[in-house]
Structures are given as C-alpha cells and as structure tokens.
Structure 1
Amino acid sequence: MTTEYSPRLFERDEDIRALGEGLLACALPREAWTHEAHLAACLWLLTERPDIDVDARIADMIRRFNESVGGVNDDTQGYHDSITRAYVAGVRLFLAETAETGLTSRVNALLRSPMGARDWPLRFYSRDLLFSVSARRGFVPPDLAPLPAP
C-alpha cells in the first residue's frame, strides 16, 4: 500500500529541536511545517520532552500553530485528529522497535520506515473513514485494523 517517496532527511539534531521548539512557540514559517517536520517534532516531543503529555496536548499544539500562521482548523483543512493520533502511535511503535540512537539518526530512520510513509494511516483506515469530517474533528477508531501499540 505504501507509495514510493523520498523523504527530506535531517542533517543536525539542532534542526529537529528547532522544529519542535518552533511548534511549541508558534514560531515556524508555515512552509517549514511539512510531513517530515510533523514526524520529527513528534519524535522529539516523545523522546526529549517528557514534561509534555503528547496525547493530551498534541491537538491544541498543532491547532494553535496552524492558526498562528493564518491557517484554519475546520471540517476540510488544518488539524486532523485521527491522522495525528495514528502517526503518534506509529512513532511510538517505531521507537519501541528501533536500535537507532541519536536524534537525527532516529528521525531519519523513522522517515524511511513504513511508519513514516505518507499513506501509513491507510493501513488501518479506509480512505472514506480517514478523510471524513468526524475523523478530522476527533479521533475515530480505525475500521480496517487496530492501531499498533508498542
């Protein structure tokens, strides 16, 4: 199911930390908030910011960031809860399975892994359910397979 894509990889830990801090501070340019940046920030939050309850705060963090750069969080654009929660589960699974150490090497390995693929949530969700308004607005359990737990 995964389509072939070449992720933009990171060269330095500082770049990943800057993405995470920029997300928290709403200080990133909109164009910096790419698929790779989402995953890098998630891995950084889970591994380097144990003071942040990712499950409780991720939705508000991303919504607030989107709005800070002029974005809208509505029924068709902006924050998507089910996709975000699927990727958080995927990053946790990756972290439980990887032997990689170091922030940059872990993020780059994640981006090259099945969990880093742009269509990874479609292993668990039908397209119709995943792209529904209800799945965008709140977490909807997958209809094809349960999300993995580490």
Structure 2
Amino acid sequence: MTAPHLFADDAAIRHVGEGMIGRTLPKGEWTHEAHLGACLYIVAERPDIDAERGLPGLIRAYNVSVGGVNDDHNGYHETITQCFIAAVRAHLAERPAGEALVTAVNALLLSARGQRHYPLTLYSRERLFSVAARRGYVAPDL
C-alpha cells in the first residue's frame, strides 16, 4: 500500500473542492486524495450542495471539462462515488465537532475508509466494476 498524499492545510482542500466544482482544477491534480478531499469539503462546508445528488453531476462535468468521457468503461462511477460519500459521512460522524478540515481529511486518508480499495471490502470486483454499478447505484454484495 502506498502512503497517501496528505494535504498541507485547509486551503489546499478548498482548492481541490472549488476547483472541481468550478471545473478549473488541473486534471493532474484530480487524484484519489483530491476526490476524497473534495467530497469531505462538500459534505462539511457546502450545505448548498447535497453530496449524494449533486456530486455525480459535478464530477461528470469536471471529467468532460478536462477532456474525459463518462461512458460504460471510463469516467464517472456512481457506486464508487456513493460508497465514498457514505464513508465520508461515517468518518465525520466520528470526528470531534469543529475539527480543522485538514485534520479530518488527512485522518480519512489514513483510515481504512480512505483507501483506494475500500469499496472492494464491500463489493466483489465483478459487481463493483460492472456497467450497472458504474451507471447507477448497486448495493454491496459482501
């Protein structure tokens, strides 16, 4: 397992969150850590965005803005997104109120829920990487 790239401060997290939302984040900065940082930022600090309903469209639009596609094999993946939103919400529920954004995000990245392979603890590889799971939410099978 490779150690995650941790964020230096709250501003770095807001940079990826707002950059994804505004489609200004350079493609090379859209890493696994950035995905989770942006998600936690939205859940914690952007009550104007309903993560479960709003993030899918934001991520799809961002992908297209950097030259990507959202199809049956590439780009946006609904089940993985919803899985990590649930993980972020569970993580935040366990954290102290008023905790710095950077502390919460970095703790998530260092936890089991923040690992790239986390969805595979809930889903078989076949189910998670199916077209049905990419296009819509499917329930865990493990």
Q: TM-score range by the shorter chain?
A: over 0.9
Question: C-alpha distance in 2, partners of 1:72/1:31?
Answer: 16
The corresponding residue for 1:96 is 93
The corresponding residue for 2:55 is 58
TM-score (ref. length: structure 1): 0.91
Mapping for residues 1-150 of structure 1, pairs under 5 Å: 4-99=1-96, 101-144=99-142
TM-score (ref. length: structure 2): 0.96
Q: Per chain length, whose mean CA-contact separation is higher, i.e. which structure has more relative contact order (CA < 8 Å, sep 6+)? A: 1
Question: Cα RMSD (Å) of the superposition?
Answer: 1.0
Question: C-alpha distance in 2, partners of 1:99/1:58?
Answer: 25
Offset at 1:99?
A: 3.3
Question: C-alpha distance in 2, partners of 1:98/1:54?
Answer: 19
Question: C-alpha distance in 2, partners of 1:29/1:87?
Answer: 22
Q: Kindly report structure 1 stretches of 4+ aligned residues shifted beyond 4 Å.
A: none
Identity %: 53
Question: C-alpha distance in 2, partners of 1:42/1:104?
Answer: 13
SS state at 1:15 partner: helix
The corresponding residue for 1:148 is none
Question: C-alpha distance in 1, partners of 2:42/2:53?
Answer: 12
Q: Which runs of 5+ in 1 are unaligned?
A: 145-150
Q: What is the number of equivalent residue pairs in this alignment?
A: 141
Question: C-alpha distance in 2, partners of 1:36/1:133?
Answer: 24
Q: Which runs of 5+ in 2 are unaligned?
A: none
